Amino acid sequence: MGDYDKLLEPFKIGKMDIANRFVMAPMTTEMVDKFFITEEIIDFYEARSKGHAGLITIGSAGVCNLDGTTPKYYNASGAVGAWDDKFNEGWKKMADRIHAAGPSKVAAQLQLNYEWRPDGESELHAYAPSLVNSEGKKIPSGPFVGMPEKEFTVDEIKILVQQYADAAKRIVDAGIDAIEIHAGIGYMVMRFLSKYSNHRTDEYGGSPAGRAKLLCDIIDAIHEKCPGTPIIIRYSIDDLMPGGNRIEDALEQRKVIEAHGIDAWNIQVGFHEAPRPVANSLVPEGEFLPIAHKFTAAVHADPESVCYTDPSVKIPTYFGTRITNVEMCKKMVDNQDSDACCLGRTFIADPDFALKVEEGRTEQIRSCIVCSRCLDKTFLGQAIHCSVNGNIKNISMGHPEDKPAEKKKHIVIVGAGPGGLETARVADIRGHKVTIIDHSKKLAGLMNMAQVLNPNMENIVRFWNEEMKLHPNIDIRLNTEATPELIKSLNPDEIVLSPGGGIMDLEFPGRNNKMVVSSQEIKDLVAGQVPKGRGFIWWSACQAVKIEGGSPNFMRFGMSMHMMMGKRLVIVGGGFAGLECAGAMYQDREVTVVEEADKLGNGIGIIDRKPEINHLKQLGIRLMPSTKVLEVNDKGVRVETTIRDKKTKEVVEVKQELIPCDTVLISVGVQENKKLYDEVVAAMPEIPVHLIGDATTPAGKVYRSLEATNAGYALGMEL
């Protein structure tokens, strides 16, 4: 067990024994069919039990009847129905399968978002504890929902409490081990708990205890309906809202809530509407651990903080905001920031995360890259996808270990990026003979460049290098140019082309000026190649890259130097690629981003786009949408900006400006790349040829590792 002994120790949640300190966080997967449990969602959780998660928490068990409704909050469409007996069979099947698959215990999280109705006949409305604050101003009712339409009456609260208890009874009777109540992140119970959103003057407001009364009533009702069932509270210990709850408020409410009998605290921070992000890549991992430590220390120090179902056990805490890697898990448990680790996206990325830690295979963990694209999907009411785990989108296709190929073939794959490598991995597991050809000297394709700009990508580059060691039968030919002749000489049965997208360039007067640098040239530099036409400085940089082995830290150090890019940088392209470059290269520079489209951030999802743009502004980066390059000369870049009326979109003004700079970096992404595909099809018309990855990028779209990985998995399962 080595360095991770504490993480692998069992612990107790009341009467429930948990095999290790890894808790799978509750998440909305959207893998339901009109709120019914599906084979896909069972398979999803079953795989995490096989991977030895200590406790698996089923997310979004809906307590309010949503049949026949269209919630404004899209995420609600992914609720796992628990408001009617018709869902019981699915819950039992899921509980049985998870328990049979591995050592995991199972909790179900009861949840109400922002919209509610008392029964299946009433209309669904946006509800709130209070319609206005103490100043008479309306309080918004959550993302996508707008202003609340109704304030809960006391009689309606009593109905809501009973809905929670009835849902808990169904779930427990189906074989689920514990109930978690979602009282965090700005959902309805948290809106009662928070000073920001609860301005009631009756028994359900007015004081910390009053604001906690709804939650306490729910706890009491569940105890009455489900005696002896452990209850876990997921709770925002700082909601980060102006005028909202701080850690001091959480510590005061803690004692009130514990007095009603609970067995664990699943603690987090934030509100969905909070003015600062809590879970995306802009947030340093572990940033909120000091707050978690304060709460955990208070629980540990209180002799009355004991579990309801076993008073001989102290109430444990587990924290789960912006924690993804095993080293941070070790740090938080060793430092007693919490007693266990609550991980969501980590278990999406790698279902075997806990098992790999247990078996000393941490270098083989397929790490979450914190891209938020799983969250993007759920907030659009769609089933989750994952940028590094192709099984998530393609979960209905099953697992390669369970589906050996009926006919073994020789598969030749061109491209050792995420698409090609995922195809190779899956095809090899299924029994095919696989050959990979790539012109680069390294595995992982453009991810080698991406990890320089985004350190979160480093672990996935490491993963692919480690993963390929587990597939010795794959013939990997790096530093080899794929030609139709070479491919044909290998006698393939099928051919997979994942050559990467064509790096887009632009034409404008002055394009050939030495100060203009293309993305292709940066890609060449990362690969240790001197771009054509570049002089001694670029040659020296390439030699240094070779000597240092192209380490990301060294490359970042090189980017910070002014020798190559100067102090004044203009980036042409305000989509995903351009903004990522700006965020990576701003230090000690004047950076301007020019984008011809009216909106910045094409290719960035709804979770990250606005925070990313705001972050770049805070760094002092000048962002210029609706701006096109007219020319580049020795003084800088001449641009033209079109200013439109925000409402009518009519042109108000067109103005030109010369932006002085040392370097103009073109970073406008990639486009469809069918050149090799057309050549191979023409040379071998009798052999099936597949084109995947960002080589298939449609015009105006941005394909990233998610699209490549998902396509690679699907193709690997079909070959």
pLDDT digits (tens, 9 = 90+) for 76-85: 999 999 999 9
Q: Which residue has the tokens 């309010």?
A: 64
Identify the pLDDT of residue 534.
85
Residue 7 and residue 109 share a domain: yes
Inform me whether the pLDDT recorded for 1 exceeds 50. Answer: no
Residue 524 and residue 490 share a domain: no
Residue 260 and residue 337 share a domain: yes
Joined tokens for residue 259: 């007095």
Task: Please report whether residue 369 resides in a domain.
Answer: no
Q: Which residue has the tokens 């604050």?
A: 133
In this prediction, residue 379 has a pLDDT band, given cuts at 50, 70 and 90, of confident
Inform me whether the pLDDT recorded for 522 exceeds 90. Answer: no
Residue 633 and residue 564 share a domain: yes
- Residue pair 442/550 in contact (Cβ under 8 Å)? The answer is yes
Range name among 91-95, 323-327, 330-334, 698-702 with the lowest pLDDT average: 698-702
Task: Please report whether residue 392 resides in a domain.
Answer: no
Phi, psi of 703 (to 5 degrees): -100, 135
Give the amino acid at 117.
R
Identify the pLDDT of residue 528.
75
Identify the pLDDT of residue 700.
82
**Of 616, 620, 624, residue with least CA distance to 599:** 624
Phi, psi of 170 (to 5 degrees): -60, -45
Over residues 459-477, the mean pLDDT reads 98
Residue 538 and residue 442 share a domain: no
Identify the pLDDT of residue 361.
97
Residue 539 and residue 437 share a domain: no
End position of a domain, from candidates 311, 337, 358: 358
d(CA 282, CA 617): 13
Residue 475 and residue 352 share a domain: no
Residue 471 and residue 545 share a domain: no
Coil, helix or strand at residue 485:
helix
Identify the pLDDT of residue 538.
79
User: 615-652 b/e with 16+ CB inside 10 Å = b?
Assistant: bbeeeebebbbbbbbeebeeebbbbeeeeeeeeeeeee
Identify the pLDDT of residue 432.
99
d(CA 319, CA 339): 8
- Tens of pLDDT, residue by residue over 12-25, are 999 999 999 999 99
Q: Which residue has the tokens 């099953």?
A: 398
- Tens of pLDDT, residue by residue over 33-69, are 999 999 999 999 999 999 999 999 999 999 999 999 9
In this structure, what CATH number is given to the domain that contains residue 433? Answer: 3.40.50.720
Residue 559 and residue 460 share a domain: no
End position of a domain, from candidates 311, 327, 358: 358
Over residues 305-332, the mean pLDDT reads 97
Number of domains in the chain: 3
Residues sharing a CB contact under 8 Å with residue 253, sequence separation 6 or more, in sequence order: 193, 208, 209, 211, 212, 245
- Residue pair 393/386 in contact (Cβ under 8 Å)? The answer is yes
d(CA 147, CA 138): 7
d(CA 231, CA 636): 64
Task: Please report whether residue 390 resides in a domain.
Answer: no
**Of 321, 328, 400, residue with least CA distance to 357:** 328
Over residues 318-332, the mean pLDDT reads 96
In this structure, what CATH number is given to the domain that contains residue 112? Answer: 3.20.20.70
**Angle formed by the axes of helices 418-429 and 458-469, to 10°?**
30
Q: In terms of residue numbers, what domain contains 484?
A: 397-503+671-718
Task: Please report whether residue 655 resides in a domain.
Answer: yes
Tell the burial category of 56 from Cβ atoms under 10 Å away from its Cβ (0-12, 13-18, 19+): buried
Task: Please report whether residue 386 resides in a domain.
Answer: no
Over residues 331-352, the mean pLDDT reads 98
Task: Please report whether residue 148 resides in a domain.
Answer: yes
Give the amino acid at 198.
N
- Tens of pLDDT, residue by residue over 440-463, are 989 999 899 899 899 999 999 999
- Residue pair 231/209 in contact (Cβ under 8 Å)? The answer is no
Give the amino acid at 267.
I
End position of a domain, from candidates 358, 379, 405: 358
d(CA 668, CA 247): 44
Task: Please report whether residue 364 resides in a domain.
Answer: no
In this structure, what CATH number is given to the domain that contains residue 655? Answer: 3.50.50.60
Inform me whether the pLDDT recorded for 2 exceeds 60. Answer: no
Inform me whether the pLDDT recorded for 228 exceeds 70. Answer: yes
- Tens of pLDDT, residue by residue over 636-653, are 999 999 999 989 999 999
d(CA 286, CA 268): 12
In this prediction, residue 558 has a pLDDT band, given cuts at 50, 70 and 90, of confident
- Residue pair 247/294 in contact (Cβ under 8 Å)? The answer is yes
Phi, psi of 284 (to 5 degrees): -60, 135
- Tens of pLDDT, residue by residue over 587-628, are 999 999 999 999 999 999 999 999 999 999 999 999 999 999
Residue 309 and residue 167 share a domain: yes
Residue 102 and residue 40 share a domain: yes
Over residues 137-165, the mean pLDDT reads 95
**Of 77, 73, 65, residue with least CA distance to 119:** 65
Q: What is the mean pLDDT of the chain?
A: 96
**Of 380, 403, 425, 397, residue with least CA distance to 43:** 397
Residue 179 and residue 54 share a domain: yes
d(CA 412, CA 430): 15
d(CA 400, CA 216): 47
Q: Encode 241-292 in three state secondary structure.
A: CCCCCCHHHHHHHHHHHHCCCCCEEEEECCECCCCCCCCCCCCCCCCCHHHH
Task: Please report whether residue 628 resides in a domain.
Answer: yes
In this prediction, residue 359 has a pLDDT band, given cuts at 50, 70 and 90, of very high
DSSP string spanning 195-254? TTT----STTSSSHHHHTHHHHHHHHHHHHHSTT--EEEEEES----TT---HHHHHHHH
Over residues 395-403, the mean pLDDT reads 97
d(CA 668, CA 574): 7
Give the amino acid at 125.
H
